[in-house]
Chains A and B, each alone.
Chain A
């Protein structure tokens, strides 16, 4: 008798709890939303509001970077987000390894909005087993951010190791640094992508260089804002960084700007890709077609500082940014940009070990 009663009350309690949980979920599901996994500045508040006014869809923005995007999607098997924005070279490998993306339905994308050469290149690079997984959104480069008065002699990444600038240079301890140093040392790591042994050889040389260069480095920067602070305060006069960082600083101090290194700036394209368990694919396509409109793309360019793959957005871009771009990229430097090819599996392990050993090496 007693036990029957307790079972009953337990049942009631469970029912109650279920009802509450159910209510909470249904309240959440009422407004249509798009969960966007992206980079800082790629989805400005103003654009999100315009999109909501036009379509009624709420965009929930999560800011991240390439590595975290893959890690997050991998942890959930491609769930938790409706649209992601990884770089084009990091899609095919991640797809082969973890199956975290869903092929794009290109018929739902208005290809007339895109710069066609960039769209084609991205499609080729993000193709895996015959399916296309990405379309381009924003592109940019990494190169050198210099105080031209104090460090005008720095022409390439390897010059960051000049003793004249000891304690006044900074770079990230990430794969672009390894690639950039390899190019500036006269090697071509992209050519060795398919040949693990050769790649290892290149990375060993880069490792030796970075370890000998360590005494020169003030600190390895982590976030973009940390680097901007270091340069703004004059503590760092030369750094390896993104073009936008240099142009932002150029606005405050005309001496500081972005310079394409002699061996070529490294070009990246961030894309749109659908996570495998996307719950709102329609909204994702709507968002893509919305932000690729020239006038919207120009707003994003103004916020992020980088140009988009949207055709005709240049006409809306600020003159100042255009002038900065032209100053940093004369014709021959623009043609010399090294675009990242798709990263084959296994290279990241080699690079990781190199980065670990550089970080652990003593700086003297």
Chain B
């Protein structure tokens, strides 16, 4: 009896298991190849490199030395904490600035004006990040546009330097990642039915109540996905911190670049790369837990 049921069970299972057709397979192939060749394979290699220690010319031994060094040398640890904290602050500022803009685009404006404003958010991203960053440098530098204007207006006596500090770095980071916050927010706010907001007012809610009880809960998946993208982009940014950060602006990616390129120390560079991956994933995980979102929700 039991053997019969098992048999029929397997037969049923076989019928249920979707047979992957050749066409589907071929369609999936670019993605699979991309994932395997460009993501998984290099990471495996990176892991192997990070777990060896150089003894002499072309002589290596297995060791955790590179990871131990990260935790024992306060320099690297501090740089990482600084990068993570700055990235979180940048993400929060981007959200605070981006949310009203997205709400305005998605809910207040209609028709032509709406697409116009959306385009205006998009257009700066048609030029490369490097050009945008140089734009900020022209504006903020001591002999730059803003400094000259302030002197002309008589607000200040001498030239003011606004570049090469954490504030200018923050401005650059927020500006570079704004679009990646606005797009998911607009699309999620688009799906919010206006009548829900009207009903909220009818039931005696004020603006703050409605924002807290209706708009934000609805927009949460968009907020989460926007924040993840912005956080990851900021954390992994190399150009903006290097150009705008100046003499004190050490960024963790710069540290990795230094290990690989100027130090020829691929072993510790790989270890740093891995630590960046693990720690940033951990921060995103904690963020999702705190906001009670799941990763699956954010990609809906």
Are chains A and B native binding partners rather than an unrelated pairing? yes
Pick the residue among A70, A217, A233, A356 that contacts B264 (CB under 8 A).
Answer: A70
Least CB distance, A89 to chain B, in whole angstroms:
14
- B22 touching A71, Cβ below 8 Å: no
Pick the residue among A99, A217, A222, A357 that contacts B242 (CB under 8 A).
Answer: A222
Residues of A within 8 A of B75 (CB): 356-357, 360
Within 8 Å of chain A (Cβ to Cβ): is B287? no
- A218 touching B164, Cβ below 8 Å: yes
Least CB distance, A172 to chain B, in whole angstroms:
11
Least CB distance, B168 to chain A, in whole angstroms:
11
**A234/B143 contact (C-beta < 8 A), A6-B22, A352-B263, A356-B75 known:** yes
Q: How far is the CA of A174 from the CA of B261 in the complex (A)?
A: 12
Residues of B within 8 A of A137 (CB): none
7 CB < 8 A contacts A-B: A71-B261, A74-B264, A97-B57, A167-B161, A219-B163, A348-B263, A356-B258
Q: List 5 tightest A-B contacts by C-beta distance, closest first.
A: A352-B263, A233-B143, A219-B246, A67-B262, A235-B142
Interchain Cβ contacts within 8 Å, total number? 68
Within 8 Å of chain A (Cβ to Cβ): is B248? yes
Residues of A within 8 A of B79 (CB): 360
Pick the residue among A70, A214, A234 that contacts B247 (CB under 8 A).
Answer: A214
Least CB distance, B56 to chain A, in whole angstroms:
8
- A360 touching B78, Cβ below 8 Å: yes
Determine the residue in chain A with the shortest Cβ distance to B254.
A359
Residues of B within 8 A of A356 (CB): 75, 255, 258
- What is the number of residues of chain B that contact chain A, defined by CB distance less than 8 Å? 28
- A71 touching B260, Cβ below 8 Å: yes
Least CB distance, B189 to chain A, in whole angstroms:
41
Determine the residue in chain A with the shortest Cβ distance to B22.
A6
Residues of A within 8 A of B262 (CB): 67, 174, 348, 352, 355
Q: How far is the CA of A167 from the CA of B263 in the complex (A)?
A: 29
Residues 189 to 234 of chain A near chain B (Cβ within 8 Å): 214, 217-220, 222, 233-234
Within 8 Å of chain B (Cβ to Cβ): is A15? no
Residues of B within 8 A of A345 (CB): 57
Residues of A within 8 A of B142 (CB): 233, 235
Within 8 Å of chain B (Cβ to Cβ): is A121? no
Residues of B within 8 A of A117 (CB): none
Within 8 Å of chain B (Cβ to Cβ): is A332? no
Residues of B within 8 A of A70 (CB): 264
- What is the number of residues of chain A that contact chain B, defined by CB distance less than 8 Å? 34
Within 8 Å of chain A (Cβ to Cβ): is B58? yes
- B247 touching A219, Cβ below 8 Å: yes
**A217/B247 contact (C-beta < 8 A), A235-B142, A360-B75 known:** yes
Within 8 Å of chain A (Cβ to Cβ): is B265? yes
In the complex, per-residue mask of A70-104: 1 if CB is within 8 Å of any chain B CB, else 0: 11001000000000000000000000110100000
Residues 245 to 261 of chain B near chain A (Cβ within 8 Å): 246-248, 250, 255, 258-261
Residues 192 to 217 of chain B near chain A (Cβ within 8 Å): none
Within 8 Å of chain A (Cβ to Cβ): is B107? no
Residues of A within 8 A of B141 (CB): 233, 235
**A348/B164 contact (C-beta < 8 A), A96-B57, A220-B247, A360-B78 known:** no
- B264 touching A97, Cβ below 8 Å: yes
Determine the residue in chain B with the shortest Cβ distance to A356.
B75
Least CB distance, A215 to chain B, in whole angstroms:
9
Known: A219-B246, A220-B246. 12 other contacts (CB 8 A): A6-B22, A9-B22, A96-B57, A97-B57, A99-B58, A219-B163, A233-B142, A233-B143, A234-B143, A356-B258, A363-B247, A363-B248
Within 8 Å of chain B (Cβ to Cβ): is A106? no
Residues of A within 8 A of B255 (CB): 356
| Residue of B58, B143, B264 contacting most chain A CB atoms (<10 Å) | B264
- B57 touching A362, Cβ below 8 Å: no
Residues of B within 8 A of A96 (CB): 57
Q: How far is the CA of A10 from the CA of B142 in the complex (A)?
A: 64
Residues of B within 8 A of A112 (CB): none
Residues 221 to 273 of chain A near chain B (Cβ within 8 Å): 222, 233-235
- A68 touching B247, Cβ below 8 Å: no
Within 8 Å of chain B (Cβ to Cβ): is A26? no
- B248 touching A362, Cβ below 8 Å: yes
In the complex, per-residue mask of B256-291: 1 if CB is within 8 Å of any chain A CB, else 0: 001111111100000000000000000000000000
Residues of A within 8 A of B143 (CB): 233-235
Q: How far is the CA of A217 from the CA of B161 in the complex (A)?
A: 13
Within 8 Å of chain B (Cβ to Cβ): is A107? no
- A349 touching B265, Cβ below 8 Å: yes
Residues of B within 8 A of A349 (CB): 263, 265
Residues of B within 8 A of A174 (CB): 262
Q: How far is the CA of A20 from the CA of B219 in the complex (A)?
A: 47
Q: How far is the CA of A19 from the CA of B106 in the complex (A)?
A: 50
Least CB distance, A355 to chain B, in whole angstroms:
8
- A97 touching B263, Cβ below 8 Å: no
**A352/B258 contact (C-beta < 8 A), A97-B58, A360-B78 known:** yes
Determine the residue in chain A with the shortest Cβ distance to B82.
A360
Residues of A within 8 A of B242 (CB): 222
- B261 touching A67, Cβ below 8 Å: yes
Determine the residue in chain B with the shortest Cβ distance to A72.
B261
Q: How far is the CA of A360 from the CA of B248 in the complex (A)?
A: 6
Residues of A within 8 A of B263 (CB): 348-349, 352
Least CB distance, B106 to chain A, in whole angstroms:
41
Determine the residue in chain A with the shortest Cβ distance to B259.
A352
**A348/B264 contact (C-beta < 8 A), A97-B57, A235-B142, A357-B75 known:** yes
Determine the residue in chain B with the shortest Cβ distance to A214.
B247
- B22 touching A352, Cβ below 8 Å: no
Least CB distance, B275 to chain A, in whole angstroms:
16
Q: How far is the CA of A222 from the CA of B141 in the complex (A)?
A: 16
Determine the residue in chain B with the shortest Cβ distance to A175.
B262
Residues of B within 8 A of A218 (CB): 161, 164, 246-247
Residues 9 to 44 of chain A near chain B (Cβ within 8 Å): 9-10, 13
Least CB distance, A287 to chain B, in whole angstroms:
26
